[in-house]
């Protein structure tokens, strides 16, 4: 891989961790960003035989702290050429008329504002160095509405559209932009976070379904990064074989 340094948000678990492991195996140096310092340091330790990594334990919605951390990157990590915007979350599955406003605000802050902010901070360096790739982890929920998806789906539509617009603005530069849009991914905290720690409810979602695994998404990320320099994968939508875009819902009474 031509790229040397990757910054991954939400790197401590699930898809982010799998991406970190896959990039480490390809000799890419890593900046691991997440809130949980201990988990990041454990991952840093685990990967220490194969690559160097640098930990930023920070809530990415804290714009001041994040900007300061990026300003203070050690010289050997400062030329970030891969940005994987993986941090994101779904909260709740209630209809729009009864959903929790704070949940909506949190999803917009993390999935949209923080993602745009970190991209805005790192993009000028990529363009100036003529080298870079922004990989945004979206969701099939950004394309296919489902009941209770409301603001989560809307934030992921933002991710998809933001990526395509980045691509437009990056025309004339070698910097690439890709939106990876997974369906159901098991073995991650996604569902547990959505249902606020209710393990039973979280596990029910994947019952009887051979869901995607974090490594499947990591493989896709590596694949888009390894394409020849003249190739930009704009969007990649991935589902388990056992999932399909939902059929329109209906109310029999009407």
Indicate the residue among 3 and 190 with the shorter CB distance to ligand 8X3. Answer: 190
Stretch that binds ligand 8X3, among 45-53, 60-68, 114-122, 133-141 (CB under 6 A): 133-141
Counting contacts by CB under 6 A, is residue 85 touching ligand 8X3? no
Largest CA distance in the chain: 65
- Which residue has its beta carbon closest to ligand 8X3? 139
Distance spanning both ends of the chain, measured CA to CA? 56
Which segment (25-33, 138-146, 166-174, 213-221) binds ligand 8X3 by CB under 6 A? 138-146
Q: What is the 3-state secondary structure (H, E, C) of 101-116?
A: HHHHHHHHHHHHHHHH
Interface with ligand 8X3 (CB under 6 A), residue from 8, 23, 58, 140? 140
Residue 139 lies near ligand 8X3 (rule: CB under 6 A): yes
* Cβ neighbourhood burial of 53 (10 Å; 0-12, 13-18, 19+): buried
CB-nearer residue toward ligand 8X3: 67 or 89: 89
| Minimum CB distance to ligand 8X3, residue 142 (Å) | 8
One of 14, 92, 183, 214 touching ligand 8X3 (CB under 6 A): 183
Q: Considering only CA atoms, which of 90, 87, 99 is closest in space to residue 154?
A: 90
Count other Cβ atoms within 10 Å, centred on residue 54.
19
Instruction: Tell me the backbone φ, ψ of residue 137, rounded to 5 degrees.
Output: -90, 105
54 tagged catalytic: no
Instruction: Count the residues of the shown chain that bind ligand 8X3, applying the rule CB under 6 A.
Output: 5
Among 43, 47, 141, 159, binds ligand 8X3 (CB under 6 A): 141
Contact between 184 and ligand 8X3 by CB under 6 A: the answer reads yes
Joined tokens for residue 230: 């003249």
Going by C-beta distance under 8 Å and a sequence separation of 6 or more, which residues neighbour residue 133? 3, 81, 82, 83, 126, 175, 176, 177, 178, 224, 225
Q: Which stretch binds ligand 8X3 (CB under 6 A): 75-83, 104-112, 137-145, 160-168?
A: 137-145
Q: Which residues are known catalytic residues?
A: 152
Residues at the contact surface with ligand 8X3, assessed by CB under 6 A:
139-141, 183-184
């Amino acid at each position: 891989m031509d790229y040397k340094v990757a910054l991954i948000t939400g790197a401590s678990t699930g898809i982010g961790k799998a991406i970190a492991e896959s990039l480490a195996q390809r000799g890419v140096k890593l900046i691991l960003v997440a809130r949980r310092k201990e988990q990041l340091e454990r991952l840093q330790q685990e990967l220490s035989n194969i690559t160097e990594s640098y930990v930023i334990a920070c809530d990415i919605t804290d714009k001041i702290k994040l900007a300061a951390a990026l300003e203070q990157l050690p010289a050997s990590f400062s030329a970030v050429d891969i940005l994987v915007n993986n941090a994101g979350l779904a909260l709740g599955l209630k209809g729009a008329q009864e959903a929790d406003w704070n949940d909506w605000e949190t999803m917009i802050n993390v999935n949209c504002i923080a993602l745009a902010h970190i991209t805005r901070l790192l993009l000028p360096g990529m363009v100036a160095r003529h080298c870079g790739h922004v990989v945004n982890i979206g969701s099939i929920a950004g394309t296919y509405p489902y009941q209770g998806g409301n603001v989560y789906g809307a934030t992921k539509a933002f991710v998809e559209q933001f990526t395509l617009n980045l691509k437009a603005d990056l025309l004339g530069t070698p910097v690439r932009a890709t939106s990876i849009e997974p369906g159901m991914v098991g073995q991650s905290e996604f569902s547990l976070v959505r249902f606020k720690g209710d393990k039973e409810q979280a596990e029910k979602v994947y019952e009887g379904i051979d869901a995607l695994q974090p490594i499947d998404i990591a493989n896709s990320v590596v694949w888009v990064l390894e394409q020849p320099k003249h190739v930009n994968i704009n969007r990649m939508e991935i589902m388990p074989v056992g999932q399909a875009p939902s059929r329109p819902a209906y109310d029999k009474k009407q």
